[in-house]
Amino acid sequence: MHIIHGGGWWSYVRYDEDQDRPQLNRTLLRRVLTYGLAYKKEMAIVLVTIFIISLLSLLPPLLIGDLIDNAIPNKDLGRVTALGIGMVLVPLLNGGFGVLQRWASATIGEGIIFDLRRQLFGHLQRMSLGFFTATRTGELMSRLNNDVVGAQQAVTGTFVTLAANLVSVTATLIVMALLEWRLTLLALIILPVFVVVSRRVGRMLRVVRRQQLEQNAEMNALMQETLGVSGALLVKLFGRTTYEDQRFQDRAAEVRDLGVRQATIGRWFFMALGVMSALGTAIVFWIGANLVINDDITVGVIVSLSFYLNNLYGPLSGLTNARVEFATSLVSFERVFEVLDMEHDIVESEQAIDLESVDGNVEFDEVWFSYAGHLGLQAIRRYGWGGVTEGDDGAATVEPHTWALEGVSFSVNPGELVALVGPSGAGKTTSTYLVPRIYDADRGAVRIDGHDIREVRLEALAKSIGVVTQETYLFHDTIAANLRYANQNATDEELRIAAATANIDELIDGLPDGYETVVGERGYRLSGGEKQRIAIARVILKDPRILILDEATSHLDAHAEALIQEALERVMEGRTSLVIAHRLSTILAADRILVMDGGKLVESGSHDELLSADGLYASLYRTQFAGEGTATVGNSPQSR
């Protein structure tokens, strides 16, 4: 069910009737409170200052009433002076305690933002690659920014407001009852109207709030995709500027319209609140005036009550709608918890071991793997907290298995160079993703030196394996910083040695800022071959025992290709290497060739053996290699 755009702001009523009313369950509340309780001292300061400020706010009407009933009729100038000083001291003290309350509230708020962002970022960092391939970056940014700030406001905004309203209403009613209990009861006559209107509007605003967060996430995702270097380049190459302008305009218009609707609903509510307040005040004035005329009360009492009435109806309305209002404010917490509650696909075993020394044996044992089930944020969208995404029939939607790997078994001996070849979509890249646990096998096992990698500490596994992908990623930072990403303690000399081994040292030395040259977003200031050689140098600094290489030379010029090939030969020397081969020279240099097709290992052997077998490899060779020493086999950048 979506928001009904036609029919004015009351169309939200029809939408809301089809939804469950917002629920506050104890589990959610306890979880939210844990974030606030981490700042007990500051919370105590907020509560104490709320109490003091509320009491101080009750004094001015009493002072005014005393001025009218006693000081002026008795011509007591000393009393008038004392009352005037009191009128000045009250806002002064209120302001001082207000500053203290704001400091405590800001400390809590910024602390909660920090805690939530730290938890969210850490949780997301440990999600599998499948989660990120199914989720737009802009949506993640929205959760880390908009939702986290909204969650903080639920504690420091809504909670503080409710506490202040409760104290204010209680204290005001007590004072009003002490002044004139009959008029106080009259002031409460219109309370049922406040209850009905406030709850209806609160439910409508909750719907709008969730829609606003979702539409902001959509807009952020679009900006992230089109304003990044890769997205901007694609837009320009295909001349889609006008199309993207319109797409963004549509998303931004949704955000605008929701903002207008929220403001309109709020304005109608406050108008109704004003009318009800005026009605209540008029009743009190009319009855009170008759009591004054009959000498039952003084003018000072009715004047004091008029001030209290102005401060009563607003907080009273807030309290009548407290449950719905608080549930509405928790929408952001719901969305944050939705992410935090997603289970990690890659989990380190409690009995995980370290690999003290790695020989480099890699074994695939009847490995099956499917990308189905690797879901992103779309899988957790729901109305309310604690549910799951469901289809129309109420059953959770699960995609059927489409196997990317089917029963793959092979072994790579320590120090051996094994080449993976096959057509696009054969499962080559998928196989290399399983070794460093980018994904986990659904069936079977991947082992290093006889240890199931699921029983090895993730940090130890990452330390033992070096990967050079076909699409090189560099941070918007200096060359030195990008190289040290592999080894933060690497010296300048070690950087130079690694760069020399990767055939990139002369280029770096020729740059005006040398190793301090900023490479730009995703390294776009460098050519493809230069980025690839920096990636190779980065892996050299890591010094892993096992290398996984996706050769990326097919799109480079002959000179860059030769430099990279020479660098790769140096890097692979003495290491176990699993290479997705795009070049005939690498295939010929391999100790063994594994031929994959449709997620299965269909052939294995040396170049000559596979040619003699006259199978898929021989067909690929005749099609792509015959007479071309630098031709490619299965050279799709995302061969799987």
**3-state secondary structure string, 572-588?**
HCCCEEEEECCCHHHHH
Q: Is 126 exposed, middle or buried (0-12, 13-18, 19+ CB in 10 A)?
A: middle
CA distances in angstroms from 351 to 195, 354, 438, 533, listed in the order given: 57, 10, 20, 38
Give 50-77 pLDDT, tens digit per residue.
Answer: 999 988 888 888 888 888 888 888 888 8
Give me the chain's average pLDDT, please: 79
| pLDDT tens-digit readout, 227-242 | 766 677 667 666 778 8
What does the pLDDT read at residue 35? 84
Q: Which band of pLDDT confidence, cut at 50, 70 and 90, is reported for residue 5?
A: very low
> Has residue 489 got a pLDDT over 50?
yes
> What CATH superfamily classification does 27-340 receive?
ABC transporter type 1, transmembrane domain (1.20.1560.10)
Indicate if the pLDDT at residue 476 is higher than 60.
Answer: yes
CB of 225 within 8 A of CB of 154?
Answer: no
Angstrom distance (rounded) from CA 570 to CA 580: 17
413-624: which CATH number, 3.40.50.300, 3.40.50.2300, 3.40.640.10, 2.40.10.10?
A: 3.40.50.300
Query: For position 372, what pLDDT does the model report?
Result: 77
Instruction: Render pLDDT for 100-110 as a digit per residue (tens, 0 to 9).
Output: 998 998 898 88
pLDDT digits (tens, 9 = 90+) for 384-440: 433 333 333 333 344 445 899 999 999 999 989 999 998 888 899 999 999 999 889
Tokens representing residue 20 in the block: 């469950």
Three-state DSSP state, 35 = helix
Beta strands in 413-545 (DSSP E): 417-421, 443-448, 451-452, 465-468
Q: How confident is the model at residue 361 (pLDDT cuts 50, 70, 90)?
A: very high
**Greatest mean pLDDT range, 8-22, 207-221, 363-377, 413-427:** 413-427
More confident residue, 228 or 530: 530
Does residue 23 register a pLDDT over 60?
A: no
Closest C-alpha among 12, 10, 613 to residue 1? 12
> Is residue 364 very low, low, confident or very high in pLDDT (cuts 50, 70, 90)?
very high
Residue % of the chain over a pLDDT of 70: 83
pLDDT at 327: 67
CA-CA-CA-CA dihedral for 204, 210, 212, 213, to nearest 10: 160
pLDDT over 70 (residue 16): no
d(CA 563, CA 499): 12
Would you kindly state where each structural domain of the chain is located, as residue ranges? 27-340, 413-624
Using pLDDT thresholds of 50, 70 and 90, give the confidence band for residue 7.
Answer: very low
**Per-residue pLDDT at 634:** 45
Say whether pLDDT at 20 is over 50: no
Mean local confidence (pLDDT), 511-540? 84
Q: Which carries the bigger pLDDT value, residue 2 or residue 405?
A: 405
Q: In this predicted structure, what is the pLDDT of residue 531?
A: 86
Average pLDDT in the 183-191 region?
79
* Mean pLDDT (whole number) for 199-221: 79
Three state DSSP letters for 590-626: CCEEEEEECCEEEEEECHHHHHHHCCHHHHHHHHHCC
Strand partners, 452: 447
* Cβ within 8 Å of residue 197, ≥6 positions away: 269, 272, 273, 276, 317
Tell me what percent of the residues of the chain surpass a pLDDT of 90. Answer: 18
In this predicted structure, what is the pLDDT of residue 15?
Answer: 35
Considering 187-191, 211-215, 312-316, 481-485, the range whose residues carry the highest mean pLDDT is: 481-485
The structure tokens listed for 509 are 């030395």
Cα(15)–Cα(220) distance, rounded to whole angstroms? 26
What pLDDT does residue 318 have? 67
pLDDT in tens, 86-144: 889 999 999 999 999 989 988 988 888 888 888 888 888 888 888 888 777 777 887 88
Provide the 10 A C-beta neighbour count for residue 160: 21
For residues 600 and 424, give the distance between their C-alpha atoms in angstroms, rounded to a whole number: 13
pLDDT tens sequence across 558-577: 666 677 777 777 778 888 99
Looking at residue 412, its pLDDT comes to: 93
Count of CB atoms within 10 A of residue 493's CB? Answer: 8
Same fold, 27-340 and 413-624: no
Residue 400 CB-half CA count within 13 A: 0
Length of the chain: 640
Banded pLDDT at 635 (limits 50, 70, 90) = very low
Q: What's residue 233's pLDDT?
A: 62
Q: What are the b/e assignments for 50-81, b being 16+ CB within 10 Å?
A: bbbbbebbbbbbbbbbbbbbebeeeeeeeebe
State yes or no: pLDDT of 514 exceeds 60: yes
- Two tokens, residue 17: 């009737």
Each residue's pLDDT tens digit, 586-622 = 788 889 999 999 999 999 999 999 999 999 999 888 8
Q: Is the pLDDT of residue 13 over 70?
A: no
- What's phi and psi for 579, nearest 5 deg? -120, 125
